[in-house]
Structure 1
Amino acid sequence: MRRLLPLLAALLLLATACTTTSAPDPKQEEGDRWRPTAGLAWQWQLSGKLDPTVDVPVYDIDGFDHPAATVADLHRRGRKVICYLSTGAWEDFRPDADRFPKSVLGRSNGWAGERWLDIRRTDVLEPLMTERIDMCRAKGFDAVEPDNMDGYRNRTGFPLTAADQLAYNRLIARLAHERGLAVGLKNDLDQIPQLLADFDFAVNEQCAEYDECHRLSPFIAADKPVFHAEYELPLADFCPESRELGLSSLRKRYELDAWRRAC
């Protein structure tokens, strides 16, 4: 319990209205965040030297790898900027990696140095993810792309359920919204009907390759963009359907460097 302050100190505290870094910004209200609309073109680059010159309104870049100056430069160029974070898997190369106890680390998710997280353990994960989203806000990002948000559909090493995933995904969305940031639903197609109201856009990989792009239509119907990437298919094999559905589609390499081909 906070101890009582002398009157002078209390008045000074009220005058300055100090907040902690992990608290939501009182200046940001729910209606203030970026609300992207369907059909926006985008660039997704998570590796290599950033190319800031692609003439698109939206960039999605790694939140840890780039300083506030990079975000500010993209803003000067007229871009909105999405902060990529892994919220459902642990990465051994992140600066906060040693703060994740071994008890929440599961099987590999197929990428070197990455393991699924036990998303039921919100007592451990909520403070860590709050700090990560605070980092995105402090750097000036407009939105968050939380990755690995469909662990319950994978062999994680934990008995995760659909209810566990819904609760965790909504937690991440709430943390972003409380900080004035838009937030995207990454993959997790099965839970789109339940989560559409909680997320401002979708990010999808390979829905055309797996004949699933139509399942993202609720986002487009709600005038929320679907930022979509394919790796294996040539443009001719997925762009006609993407245009018909209203997706914002790219061909990318798996390393997600600067190279792109847009529909």
Structure 2
Amino acid sequence: MKRTLPLLTLLLLLAGCTTVTGTTTADDRTGGARWRPRPGVAWQWQLSGRLDTSVDVPVYDIDGFDHSRATVTALHRKDRKVICYLSTGAWEKFRPDAKKFPKSVLGRGNGWEGERWLDIRRTDVLEPLMAKRLDMCRRKGFDAVEPDNMDGYRNDTGFPLKAADQLRYNRLVARLAHERGMAVGLKNDLDQIPRLVRDFDFAVNEQCAQYDECGRLKPFIDADKAVFHVEYELPTARFCPDSGRLKLSSMLKKYALGAWRRPC
């Protein structure tokens, strides 16, 4: 149910009132405000294993399908913002809606068991499916969305995807999230950051330090938007000094993305 904001609250939101985790940005499409995390905010990213809710950080990024509204509510009670992880660019055979994806949009494997790239040109098929997934995130009370596999055009998907196809699809996903009052992050897709930074509220990156690419995320920092960053193979001493200089929200994780973390 949409609630009318008190006048004083609305004025504060329009002024970009700062919170512990970021700012709230007025959203004309929803009549409310959505969260926008600011550079340097600490986070936890856990996509496997029993969720550890004891990590003392302002932001959690967890699997949207695997967790209930009650879990999100419990994190909110601890003053956490919660990001809904979804795969929007690849099909996963283990998801409850997997059979709703026609075979015509399923491409080659993306390197993870049971996952295949999607033909993102087929927005006639994918838009309603992704809209339902984002509806799920909204119903569960998530503050934001992390859409994964957003750079298929740079991979061997089995489809002749072009950069323009990726831009169109990524903007579609961002619009669907914003229409539901949620923030949305750009996952990897470094080449298109200059053209997409306005469409997204934060970035999520894997291994930019290992591949000497972290400087390419600067447009998000310059726009006062967080960059949530993880490394898997480098010791923290190798990337934390640069992460601090760049104002990235960085930590070391294991590939399984369980509870273990070593933040900068």
TM-score where L is the length of structure 2: 0.89
Indicate whether 1:113 and 2:114 are aligned. yes
Equivalents in 1 of 2:150, 2:76: separation in Å? 28
Corresponding residue of 1:231: 232
Aligned mates of 2:212, 2:205 — CA distance in 1: 12
Residue number in structure 2 paired with 1:7: none
Q: Name the structure 1 match of 2:20.
A: none
CA distances 1:117-148 after superposition (whole Å, capped 9, x unpaired)? 00000000000000000000000000000000
1:129 is matched with 130
Residue 238 of structure 1 aligns to a residue whose secondary structure is helix
Q: Distance in 1 between matches of 2:186 and 2:175?
A: 12
Moved over 4 A (4+): none
CA drift of 1:237 comes to 0.5
Aligned to 1:38: 39
SS in 1 for 2:116: strand
Q: Which residue of 2 aligns with 1:255?
A: 256
SS at match of 1:32: strand
Once the two structures are superposed, residues 181-226 of structure 1 have per-residue CA deviations (whole angstroms, 9 ceiling, x without a partner) of 0000000000000000000000000000000000001100111000
Structure (1/2) with the larger strand percentage: 2
Distance 2:36 2:259 in 1: 25
Q: Please tell me whether the aligned partners of residues 30 and 177 of structure 1 are also in contact (alpha carbons under 8 angstroms).
A: no
Partners of 1:133 and 1:175 within 8 A in 2 = yes
Q: Given the alignment of the two structures, is residue 220 of structure 1 paired with residue 225 of structure 2, yes or no?
A: no
Residue 36 of structure 1, CA deviation: 1.3
Matched residue pairs, number? 238
Residues 71-118 of structure 1: per-residue CA shift (max 9 Å, x gap): 000000110000000000000000000000000000000000000000
Partners in 2 of 1:30 and 1:114 — Cα distance?
37
Question: Match for 2:109: what amino acid?
Answer: S
Question: Aligned equivalents of 2:162 and 2:45: distance in 1?
Answer: 30
One-letter code of the match for 2:235? Answer: P
* Change over 3 Å in CA distance of 1:261–1:30 after alignment to 2: farther
Letter in 1 for 2:56: D
Question: What is the correspondence of 1:1-263 to structure 2 with a 5 Å cutoff?
Answer: 29=30, 32-263=33-264
Distance 1:48 1:104, change over 3 A: same
Q: Which runs of 5+ in 1 are unaligned?
A: 1-25
Q: 1:30–1:156: structure 2 CA closer, same or farther, 3 Å change rule?
A: farther
- SS across alignment from 1:249: strand
Letter of the structure 2 residue corresponding to residue 159 of structure 1: P
The amino acid across from 1:141 in the alignment is: F
CA distance in 1, matches of 2:243, 2:38: 16
Tell me which amino acid in the other structure corresponds to 2:110.
N
2:119 aligned partner, one-letter code: D
Aligned CA distance change for structure 1 residues 243 and 134 (closer, same or farther; 3 Å): same
Amino acid at match of 2:231: E
Q: Give the corresponding residue for 2:18.
A: none
C-alpha displacement of 1:30: 5.9
2:179 aligned partner, one-letter code: E
In structure 1, what is the Cα distance between the partners aligned to 2:160 and 2:257?
A: 31
Following the alignment from structure 2 to structure 1, what is the Cα–Cα distance between the partners of residues 242 and 149? 26
**Superposition RMSD in Å:** 1.2
Shift of 1:31: 5.3
- Do the aligned partners of 1:30 and 1:178 also contact (CA within 8 Å) in 2? no
Deviation at 1:166, TM superposition (A): 0.1
Structure possessing the higher radius of gyration over alpha carbons: 1
Specify every segment of 5 or more residues in structure 2 that has no aligned partner in the other structure, as ranges.
1-26
Deviation at 1:29, TM superposition (A): 2.3
Percent of aligned pairs with the same amino acid: 78
